[in-house]
Structure formats: structure tokens, C-alpha cells
């Protein structure tokens, strides 16, 4: 195989969220909380919940079609589909296989990637290697979650934080000097205990008994995750900048993981960015984990916040504990 090195960039984006809007006042009817309690601590005003019968693959497929259309890519031209999710339709087949069938992407290899809220950034970094090496020309990277089905609606510290959605990017070759310029990712497995779903695999089977004990739901030590996030989100962006040969002053827009407005503000401060250069939509969608960054990226793109030649920084953190950042010059 004759492989030729290429620069890799994002050619198109898309996103999909359920129609059902659940406000903080709606949550206050379910659990002991209030709009003020949630919004002042997190920046969240509402979130979207998928109805019964709508699965992660459905949101992936809808968002993917938007991205394919915007990039002028036919499904049969896709070489690879990466679905980054911690809430797959099922363990086997992979959600990526289901999306491939839905799209008719008959020539694409597929796999699911698990890195929680850092998933999309991990996926783009992974996909970039295939493009840069010359192995593939068109890659679909999807971040998607239906977290509402893994939430304990008796736990106000977690159930108010999350929402459902999907975001997508089409990766492909771009002219030299554009595209992904710097990347950073990492993990601290010792922090896995701070954010997990105990009964979601072979360690503890997700039985009815486990469900009654609350083990099939998201468990989080909010204070520990917050401390970790404040420490790593700005830092991973700085490392990616260093590898790209750019500086903080070059940033046109930061698109961070939408987990908590205070964490976002902390990252902006570390990068010496005014909030006008930070894209925030946590108020509308809450934390959609792996879907968070790509949903925000697509909205920023479609709203005209990103133009050709702009330096865009993505930064996220998640369960694992994981983190990832990247710098790109938009093509």
C-alpha cells in the first residue's frame, strides 16, 4: 500500500438532540432541588431527554447525516466510523455497526471508543492518525449519549447534571497549515472510583437486584471530579497549544466540554481568554458527556462563530479519569 502523509481537518459537522426539553423547574418536581440551586452551581437551565424507542444509534445517525451533507460526503465514501459513547445501544453489536447499517456506509470499518466525556476528542485524535498517514480519506467521528437512562432520579447531585444528544465531525485531508495542529490526551486510572456506573459490565452484572440497589446508575464524587477538571482542562489545552507552535494569544475560540460553567470559566482564565472567545451551551443541554464538545462545535460553526483560518481549541475531561485537548486551524 502506497501511503502519502496528509494534513487532517474537520470538513463538516452536525448534531442531534431529542425534542423533549426538561427544565430545572421540571426537575424540581422530581427531586429536592430548584432552578436557583442548579443554575448557580452549574450554569444549567435545561436538558434534553430521549423518549422510549429512541436509542443512541438513532441520534448518531441523524447527526451524521447533517455532517455528511455539510461536507459533501456520500456514506459509501466513508472509510471509518468511530462512535465515542458510554451509553451504547448494546454491548454487541457496536453502536458504530448499527450506524454503519443505518447510513449505508458499506465501505467503512467501524468501532466504538470508550473515554466518557473525553471521547469525542479521543476519537478525533485517533481518526487524525489514519488521515495523516494516508491510510484513510474520510472518517466519521461521533460523540453520542443517552445518559437519562443511567441516572438515579433520587440523587439530586447527579440527576440534574446530565442530558442526551449526539454530535458529529467528518475528518478528511486539508491543505498544509490547516486542520489539526496540536494534540494532547491522557488518563489517571486511579481516579476511576470518582465517576462510574458500578453495575455496567462483568464486575457487577446489571441485574434487577443491582438496579434496586442503585448500582446501574451514575455515581460521582462531585468534589473530586471538580478538582480534577479545574486542574486538567486548561492544562491539556496548553499542552496542545505548545505542540502546535501557537500561543494563547492565537486562540479565536475555545470549545470546552460542557460540564460546569465554573470549570469552563477556570479554563478560560488559565488560557487568558475573555468569555466572548469561549463557546458555552451548557444552559441548553447540560452535560451530554461524549456528545458535549461536538454539539457545541457544530452550533458554533453553524452560528458563524468559526470561520476559515480561525484557531479553535477543544478541551475536555471525563470519567476514567481522562482528558484531551487539541488545536486546529479551521478549513
The sheet with strand 311-318 has its strands ordered as 179-187, 322-329, 311-318, 253-256
Q: How far apart are CA 289 and CA 312, in angstroms?
A: 20
CB environment 243-263: b (16+ within 10 A), e (fewer): ebebeeeebbbbbbbbbbbeb
Residue 255: strand pairing partners: 314
- With b for 16 or more beta-carbon neighbours within 10 A and e for fewer, the 14-50 pattern comes to bbbbbeeebebeebbeeeebebeebbebbbbbbbbbb
Tell me the HSE value of 93 on the side-chain side, using a 13 A CA sphere: 10
Catalytic annotation on 117?
A: yes
Annotated active-site residue 257? The verdict is: yes
Tell me how crowded residue 331 is: count the other CB atoms within 10 A of its CB.
18
Candidate list 55, 257, 260, 301, residue with the active-site label: 257
C-alpha cell at 157: 447531585
Q: Tell me if residue 97 is catalytic.
A: no
Cα separation, 236 vs 184, in Å, equals: 6
Catalytic residue among 84, 97, 117, 159: 117
Residue whose entry in the numeric block shows the C-alpha cell 470549545: 255
Asked if residue 84 lies in contact with residue 142, where contact means CB atoms within 8 angstroms, the answer is: yes
Catalytic residue among 60, 260, 287, 301: 287
* Catalytic annotation, residues: 117, 257, 287
Amino acid at each position: 500500500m502506497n501511503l502519502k502523509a496528509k494534513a487532517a481537518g474537520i470538513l463538516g459537522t452536525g448534531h442531534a438532540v431529542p425534542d423533549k426539553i426538561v427544565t430545572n423547574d421540571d426537575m424540581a418536581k422530581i427531586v429536592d432541588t430548584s432552578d436557583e440551586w442548579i443554575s448557580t452551581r452549574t450554569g444549567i437551565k435545561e436538558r434534553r431527554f430521549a423518549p422510549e424507542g429512541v436509542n443512541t444509534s438513532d441520534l448518531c445517525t441523524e447527526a451524521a447525516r447533517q455532517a455528511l451533507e455539510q461536507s459533501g460526503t456520500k456514506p459509501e465514501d466513508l472509510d471509518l466510523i468511530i462512535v465515542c459513547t458510554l451509553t451504547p445501544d448494546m454491548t454487541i453489536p457496536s453502536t458504530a455497526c448499527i450506524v454503519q447499517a443505518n447510513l449505508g456506509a458499506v465501505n467503512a470499518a467501524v468501532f466504538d471508543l470508550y473515554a466518557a466525556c473525553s471521547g469525542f476528542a479521543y476519537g478525533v485524535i485517533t481518526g487524525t492518525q489514519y488521515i495523516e498517514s494516508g491510510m484513510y480519506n474520510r472518517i466519521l467521528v461521533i460523540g453520542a449519549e443517552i445518559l437519562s437512562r443511567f441516572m438515579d432520579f433520587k440523587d439530586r447531585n447527579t440527576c440534574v447534571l446530565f442530558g442526551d444528544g449526539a454530535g458529529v465531525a467528518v475528518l478528511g485531508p486539508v491543505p498544509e497549515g490547516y486542520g489539526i495542529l496540536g494534540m494532547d490526551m491522557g488518563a489517571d486510572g486511579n481516579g476511576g472510583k470518582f465517576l462510574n456506573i458500578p453495575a455496567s459490565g462483568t464486575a457487577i452484572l446489571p441485574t434487577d437486584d443491582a438496579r434496586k440497589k442503585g448500582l446501574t446508575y451514575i455515581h460521582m464524587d462531585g468534589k473530586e471530579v471538580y478538582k480534577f477538571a479545574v486542574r486538567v482542562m486548561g492544562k491539556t489545552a496548553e499542552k496542545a497549544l505548545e505542540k502546535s507552535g501557537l500561543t494563547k494569544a492565537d486562540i479565536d475560540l475555545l470549545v470546552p466540554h460542557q460540564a460546569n460553567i465554573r470549570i469552563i470559566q477556570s479554563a478560560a482564565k488559565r488560557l487568558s481568554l475573555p468569555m466572548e472567545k469561549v463557546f458555552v451551551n451548557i444552559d441548553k443541554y447540560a452535560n451530554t458527556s461524549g456528545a458535549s464538545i461536538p454539539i457545541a462545535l457544530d452550533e458554533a460553526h453553524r452560528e458563524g462563530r468559526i470561520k476559515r483560518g480561525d484557531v479553535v481549541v477543544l478541551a475536555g475531561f471525563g470519567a476514567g479519569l481522562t482528558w484531551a485537548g487539541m488545536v486546529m486551524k479551521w478549513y
